[in-house]
Amino acid sequence: MAQQLELALHKLSPSTGNSSQGRDKQVSGMEGYESRHRSSQEERIPSYKIHKPKHFFPTFNGEDVHRWLYKCAQYFEIEEIANTDKLRITSYYLEGVALYWHQNFLRSAENQRATWEEYVEAIRCRFGGQQDPLEELMKLKQRGNLEEYIQDFDILWNKAEINEKQSLVIFLGGLELEIKNTVKMFEPKTLKHAYNLARLQANTLSQCFKTRTGPAGRPGTRPTRAWDRSG
């Protein structure tokens, strides 16, 4: 009896081992599947790494030096250009009279390495005009079209490099009297608000003028009165 029981246990032991091995393989297979599934998901996750935009360096031929210097500053900041390399990069993109002036500037330096700040001051002095931008801005007055005045004001404001509070006072002072009085009544705190108020008043004055003069610029028709029809 004992021998029969031992024989039965002996027959069962291999199958038990196989079952255990099968479970181990099944667990291992599931782990491999989960690992591959995670890897696949990670590959599908889009990359949100920010890439710096590619910019072309602005050329300069002697016109509007303030605008050109501003674009240079933007380029140097985005591309992270060192101060020691700015002058060398700039010289490659000069044309016409600006290039000739640049060559003369380097000769006058007598082999002394000029800093970028010194170069900016020199080129601004050469091509920025004789009049101080702030002085030009303060002399600017509206003479007719409001949008032209706003456009000229924005250009000179950028050159003058003053804060908005100061520029607001100057802008209001340059408006035509009929527009200025109405805009100042609302006490605008920003240039944007002042621009919008000025446009509204300019449109109102334009509509009033059309009403008085008629559609073709002729004096408007006067309403007929009762006593005009008599006799």
**Rounded CA separation 23/225 (Å):** 110
What single-letter DSSP state applies at residue 60?
B
**Rounded CA separation 89/86 (Å):** 5
Task: Write out pLDDT tens, residues 30-84.
Answer: 555 556 656 555 555 555 454 455 668 899 999 988 889 989 999 999 999 999 9
Q: What is the pLDDT of residue 209?
A: 77
Mean of pLDDT values over 184-192: 95
End-to-end CA distance of the chain: 151
Q: What is the pLDDT of residue 112?
A: 78
Both tokens assigned to 231: 């006799």
Q: Would you put residue 107 in left (φ > 0), alpha (ψ -120 to 50) or beta? A: alpha
Domain boundaries, the chain: 65-127, 133-213
The average confidence (pLDDT) of the chain is 79
Task: Write out pLDDT tens, residues 120-174.
Answer: 999 988 998 767 788 889 999 999 899 999 999 998 898 888 999 999 999 999 9
Using an 8 Å Cβ cutoff, are 126 and 63 in contact? no
pLDDT band at 6 (very low <50, low <70, confident <90, very high): low
Q: What is the pLDDT of residue 146?
A: 95
Q: What is the pLDDT of residue 105?
A: 92
Mean of pLDDT values over 17-22: 53
Q: What is the pLDDT of residue 228?
A: 46
Residue at token pair 């404001």:
157
Q: What is the pLDDT of residue 225?
A: 41
The residue length of the chain stands at: 231
Please name the helix (run of DSSP H) or strand (run of DSSP E) that holds residue 57, with its range, or none: none
* Top-tier CATH class for 133-213: mainly alpha
pLDDT more than 70, % of the chain: 67
Q: Determine phi and psi for 115, rounding to 5 degrees.
A: -80, 165
Q: What is the pLDDT of residue 39?
A: 56
**Rounded CA separation 102/170 (Å):** 35
Based on the number of CB atoms within 10 Å of its own CB, is 143 exposed (0-12), middle (13-18) or buried (19 or more)?
exposed
Mean of pLDDT values over 93-99: 95
Residue at token pair 């924005």:
154
SS (HEC) of 134-157: HHHHHHCCCCCCHHHHHHHHHHHH
Measured CA to CA in angstroms, residue 26 lies from 18, 39, 116, 128 at distances of 12, 20, 70, 80
Mean of pLDDT values over 203-220: 72
